[in-house]
Amino acid sequence: MKRTSTKIIAGFLLGATLVGGVATAATSEQLGVKVCVDKRTQAIYLATSAGCSTTRTAMTLGAPTIDVKSIAALVTPSVVSIKVTSATGSGTGSGSIYKSDKNESYIITNNHVIEGAVNSGTILVELLSGDTFSAQIVGRDIAYDIAVIKISKGNLPTVTLGDSSRISVGEAVVAIGSPLGLASTVTSGIISALNRPVTTGTVGSESYVNAIQTDAAINPGNSGGALLDSQGRIIGVNSAIATLSTGGSSGSIGLGFSIPINEAKRVIEELIATGKSTRPVLGIFFDTTYVGTGAKILRLSPGEGAEKAGIPAGAVITAIDGVKIADQVGAIVKIRSYVPGSLVSVTVELPTGGSKSFKVTLGTAPSN
């Protein structure tokens, strides 16, 4: 009997490794598989009849409905509150603990959360325990609205990364953050749409996001917090909300937007490694006066991918890898969702008439 139990646990843990943390097992229980998740290492173990120890969080995997209570207990210790104070004022936001060793921890958030403290000011990180630590900026990327900060506190629980390319509209999600400074606030909803072109920021400092749209309540202060799938894995960094307000801060109207974690991960890893990040380049300048459908090319960058592929100036981009492009924002957002060096198919309406697709290898440039 002991040998059989060992085989089940080994197979269960191997399955979790092979599919990125999604553990599956045959079970006759309608409510899924009962497991215990180590609060420090995030390792998954089958639950015994006695339940879980105090160092592990009970969770149900494979349940027909999302287990918000278990997800909150599991992930809340990995989500922090961020307070920024500068000469121009103060504000709050959220972040997720991305990496942690014995000496320090790296936290991901939005650039707009911490940008007020870039030249002067302070950034304080508050953990679930209530302990606060001064944070330093490791790096930031305005174009993707991603920033990494670090604190001198190690051995903290980290978020588990999900795969934002495998999510679908209608899936249940959970958002955790600090709206209006209210730490560890948990809300739930669904994925309302994918690949939603969203731009934020001021002229010259815009952020372009190929966003996950959700109706999980996201409010001011949630920025930088975690959007989680039904397994408690981070699939997005909450970044923006739509509002009907004509002034001041507005509450959630069910239109929240999150940066897909697959897109954010590349930027995060570059910031941690070098303090700087890169972006993919198509090699074109758009005609901002164009009001038709699609994105019109005003001119080409010499030696870049679009020119090398033979795309002419004056052409109008109508699709990228089969995804329809409505305007230049949609084109920028779609291009920036790729990794530099990717080969993409760009379909255009030619200035001389007719449609043609070109294969373009994206270049690379320092991100602003």
Identify whether 112 is a catalytic site residue.
yes
Q: Of 112, 141, 184, 215, which residue is the catalytic one? A: 112
The whole-angstrom separation of Cα 315 and Cα 312 is: 6
DSSP string across 81-108: EEEEEETTEEEEEEEEEEEE-SS-EEEE
Q: Which residue reads 């320090």 in tokens? A: 104
Contacts of 345 (CB under 8 A, 6+ apart): 319, 320, 321, 322, 357, 358, 359, 360
Which is it for strands 122-126 and 79-86: parallel, antiparallel or unpaired? antiparallel
**Cβ-contact 73, 36 below 8 angstroms:** no
Burial of 295: CB neighbours in 10 Å, binned 0-12, 13-18, 19+: buried
The whole-angstrom separation of Cα 147 and Cα 264 is: 10
The whole-angstrom separation of Cα 45 and Cα 35 is: 6
DSSP string across 310-330: TPPTT-EEEEETTEE--SHHH
Residue 93: CB atoms within 10 A of its CB come to 27
Tell me how far apart the 2 most distant CA atoms of the chain are, in Å: 76
**Any bridge partners for residue 126, and if so which?**
81, 132
Identify whether 38 is a catalytic site residue.
no
Q: Of 67, 145, 215, 327, which residue is the catalytic one? A: 145
Residues 15-30 as b or e (16 or more Cβ within 10 Å = b): ebeeeebbbebeeeee
Among the residues of 52-185, which ranges form H helices? 68-75, 111-114
Identify whether 223 is a catalytic site residue.
yes
4: tokens are 């059989």
**Cβ-contact 296, 286 below 8 angstroms:** yes
Q: Of 223, 252, 258, 277, which residue is the catalytic one? A: 223
The whole-angstrom separation of Cα 39 and Cα 312 is: 56
The catalytic residue positions are 112, 145, 223
